[in-house]
A and B are shown apart, each in its own frame.
Chain A
């Protein structure tokens, strides 16, 4: 038994014990989230909100709508779509009704939505969590509940324009997120298949050779070639021919060159793919994408001012002022204490990043002013009460 298997058995036994204990007695809880899932604390949520805002503004800038679908689908809707991965789907218990499963991605629900509503054209984004019951022994550290953020254009249109817009969107998002340098690789399934054909790969091996070629981003060519020859049964000649093509990279010029290639130009699929690739690059040029901080304290609230007081018995005045600020749309807080010390009020500002503190005092109230202090610089000004905002 592995350590994690023991943990699971213990958890099950504790659950059973708790249930046997009935609802009266106090349960001894295993205080944790389910394996592979996690809470998002306020700091993580603040970061998440920033990222979503950037991404969603970009989608909206491109005229996309959004939809939402239920977290579970009829099991049958998901069955048969994911091949080998089907065993990673979370099923709901059969409780006497329909058989249900948690969605595995957002693409199948999207297809179901289009078919169900007989929609032929839509540009939509969908940001939501999906669920995969990854085997912990093999993929430790991977979450089982995680966000997917999909953008899709459905419909019959003139070739490559929507495809180009998708790339423009990825480019805009990665730029705005300021993650550093990046590049986007493009290829085409028809070019790949055409390439395999002219290299001499038997039809029935296309998909499996494809997944081996896919490993080139992680493995060196020698190892990829070894897998093709030793595990997938290709001859060395065929593998070498593939090797010549897959080492090629370029822009619109590469597509042009390959259209002149004596072997590839004879393959109909490859030609179609290469022609479209040229077209794509021409649009990408028009879209200007053919080329590729200061560690700010992450705040979890957006409060602009804390209403405070150095003296006692000013709770009423603090509450009144806070209410006026809220009514005027100002993001304000007040400590839930009748007579808090000024130091704790200032500390609260520093801990949570509130930039301003409005300090009330007997003298100031008589004079009809409020002391507005900048928390960071400690500069203070006396402001006439009704101009406080």
Chain B
């Protein structure tokens, strides 16, 4: 029934004008089908063909991963592990716990949280049960977790993959499955201390990753809104003007001003007034100055934001990170749910990467950006049935961007990236010593030494040495008839070729000493 049923379903779908393979013959190829659309149609036809072929015959496979996804090969995994270790140590040093959530949520949990971006959510097929969707970020699952478990205080990190069905025509090269690395502090606390700790953490991580110079811009949603108000922006245009201001990291002021006036309907005066403010950068001194500004000081929101900004900087001084933090009035950040401080970390050196991936929020993130976040006090309350508020502040590290930078560095560096951690290969130049090799290898494993042995009864010494060179194993323990009689093992340094005879009983210690 299956094959036939499948065919007839496809045919009916075609007749109803549903976009399906059956329509293909009637499309004129000159009428604007892109190469990727053709690829998709071909893939669908091949799938249909495979299904019609039934389970018996051999399928002709399109051997590929889904569009926008990729495998990680061992080299990439080794780099990934290094990066995660640095980041996770930092989180742990600051006393954070970690959680994990399922890869899909009830569709309803994600609905209504992402605005325009909702069409980028991957849905699961309705197979007769609950309607499900793949998580789009880690923040909404976090809010759901807090509300569900009635948690009011937690300092947590969460590193996991998220899924966005980006339209390939518009954002070619962007991955649809990518890592996000989030750190958030939830709970009611004395003002700005957790906010300052988030910035300290970003600072520590970017330092340790050794990605070159960076700086962190900070601003505050209340200061932005206060600024718009005193400049004369109508209330209902706040958000849309905000996203235009956000483009200042990519566009010159003239173009941004043009958009405000021509597309968003602001008067030139208002735009100019905004222009004066958004060109301001500084530290605690700027916050002081603005609190003296005749117009801004009259705006309650701006005052609250500026007072907190001063407080933030005083804590940042104690945390010794003010050398890299700038209070920048042009920082806007796209997501609606920020209610207080916002920040973005930018690398000074932008290494152009072909498939540039941004793990941080999509909206308004500039090319060199590697982390972003802020305070969002209203999100958890949206989930809680009683609307109980749980204030949150956090940061998302743009880990995919960091991976591609590290991968490029590894390619251009002379140092080889190892994909295993093996310390010694157990080898032999002579025949019929497999038993001895296996015995010694087992002893080494039992002592916690990372060891390998070739799966060959009588391998040539040369191939054993080549294996060490190819995979970066630093030492080789060579067994021979004479050495076995004398109770020693020849320990050779692969790179330098220096050899020394080590008594069997001392071998483990000798290896551990040399591979510290």
The CA of A315 and the CA of B191, in the complex, are separated in Å by 12
Instruction: Take A62-B445, A323-B200 as given contacts and tell me if A30 and B320 are in contact as well, using a CB distance cutoff of 8 Å.
Output: no
Q: Which residues of B contact A3 (CB under 8 A)?
A: none
Query: Whole-angstrom distance from the CB of A198 to the nearest CB of chain B?
Result: 29
| Chain B contacts for A38, CB-based, 8 A | 102
Instruction: Please measure, in the bound complex, the distance between the C-alpha atom of A42 and the C-alpha atom of B95, giving whole angstroms.
Output: 12
What 0/1 pattern do residues 307 to 319 of A give for CB contact below 8 A with B? 0000000011001
Task: Give A48 Cβ to nearest chain B Cβ, in Å.
Answer: 8
CB of B112 within 8 A of CB of A23, answer: yes
Q: Which size class do B's interface residues fall under?
A: 35 or more
Residues of the B chain whose Cβ atoms lie less than 8 Å from the Cβ of A315: 193
Do residues A74 and B93 form an inter-chain contact, with CB atoms below 8 A?
no
Residue of B nearest to A304 (CB): B93
| Complex interface residues of chain B between 190 and 223 (CB less than 8 A to chain A) | 190, 193-194, 200, 204
Give the segment of B295-303, B326-334, B369-377, B418-426 that binds chain A: B418-426
Within 8 Å CB of B439, what residues of A?
A: 286
Residues of A within 8 A of B385 (CB): 28-29, 31
The answer to whether A40 touches B420, judged by C-beta atoms less than 8 angstroms apart, is: no
CB neighbours of B434 from chain A (8 A):
161
Q: Is A73 a contact partner of B65 (Cβ separation < 8 A)?
A: yes
Query: Are the CB atoms of A15 and B63 closer together than 8 Å?
Result: no
Q: How far is the CA of A95 from the CA of B120 in the complex (A)?
A: 10
Tell me whether A64 and B420 are in contact (CB under 8 A). yes
B102–A63 touching, CB < 8 Å: no
The docked-state distance in angstroms from the alpha carbon of A275 to that of B200 is 63
> Residue A157 at the B interface, CB < 8 A?
yes
B99 within 8 A of A: yes
User: Which residue of chain B lies nearest to A340 when distances are taken between CB atoms in the complex?
Assistant: B190
| B113-155 interface code vs A (CB 8 A; 1 in, 0 out) | 0010000001111110111101000000000110111000000
Q: Report the minimum CB–CB distance from B3 to chain A (whole Å).
A: 12
In the bound complex, do residue A40 and residue B99 qualify as a contact, i.e. CB atoms below 8 Å apart? yes
Cβ of B230 under 8 Å from chain A: no
Residue B256 at the A interface, CB < 8 A? no
Chain A residues with Cβ under 8 A from B389's Cβ? none
Residues of A with C-beta under 8 A to B438? 161, 164, 283, 286-287
**Residue A223 lies at the interface, judged by CB distance under 8 Å to chain B:** no
Q: Contact partner of A34 among B70, B78, B105, B115, CB < 8 A? A: B105
Residues of B within 8 A of A268 (CB): none
Q: Bound state CA distance, A326 and B92, in angstroms?
A: 10
> Are B449 and A98 within 8 A (Cβ)?
no
**Partner of A95 from B55, B165, B387, B419 at Cβ < 8 Å:** B165
The answer to the question of B308 belonging to the interface, with a C-beta cut-off of 8 Å to chain A, is no
B125 touches A91 (CB 8 A): yes
> How does the 8 Å CB contact mask read for B362-384 relative to A, with 1 for contact and 0 for none?
00000000000000000000110
B71 near A76 (CB under 8 angstroms)?
A: no
Contact with A along B161-186 (1 / 0, CB 8 A): 10101000000000001000000010
Q: Which residue of A lies closest to B175 (CB)?
A: A70
CB-based contact B420/A65 at 8 Å: yes
State which of B44, B105, B193, B452 has its C-beta within 8 Å of the C-beta of A63.
Answer: B452
Q: Are A95 and B122 in contact (CB under 8 A)?
A: yes
Contact B65 A69 (CB under 8 A): yes
B101 cross-chain contacts in A, Cβ below 8 A:
33, 39-40
Q: Name the one of B95, B106, B319 contacting A32, with C-beta atoms under 8 angstroms.
A: B106
A119 to chain B minimum Cβ distance, whole angstroms, is 9
Structural contact, A157 and B455, CB atoms closer than 8 A:
yes
A residues in contact (CB < 8 Å) with B: 8, 11-12, 14-15, 18-19, 23, 26-35, 37-42, 45-46, 60-77, 79-80, 90-100, 102, 112-113, 115-117, 124, 129, 131, 133, 145, 153, 155, 157-158, 161-162, 164-165, 168, 172, 283, 286-288, 300-303, 315-316, 319-320, 323, 326-327, 329-333, 336-338, 352
Known: A19-B111, A66-B77, A71-B177; 9 extra A-B contacts, CB below 8 A, are: A39-B102, A42-B97, A65-B419, A69-B72, A112-B63, A116-B71, A133-B129, A168-B445, A319-B315
15 A-B pairs, CB-CB below 8 angstroms?
Answer: A29-B147, A34-B102, A39-B100, A39-B102, A39-B149, A42-B97, A63-B451, A65-B78, A91-B124, A92-B123, A100-B66, A102-B124, A116-B71, A286-B439, A319-B193
Which B residues contact A (CB, under 8 angstroms)? 19, 40, 43-44, 46-47, 50-51, 55, 59, 61-67, 69-74, 77-78, 80, 92-109, 111-112, 115, 122-127, 129-132, 134, 144-145, 147-149, 156, 161, 163, 165, 177, 185, 187, 189-190, 193-194, 200, 204, 315, 318-320, 382-383, 385, 387, 419-422, 434-435, 438-439, 442, 445-446, 448-453, 455-457, 471
**Closest 4 A/B residue pairs (Cβ):** A336-B189, A157-B455, A42-B97, A70-B69
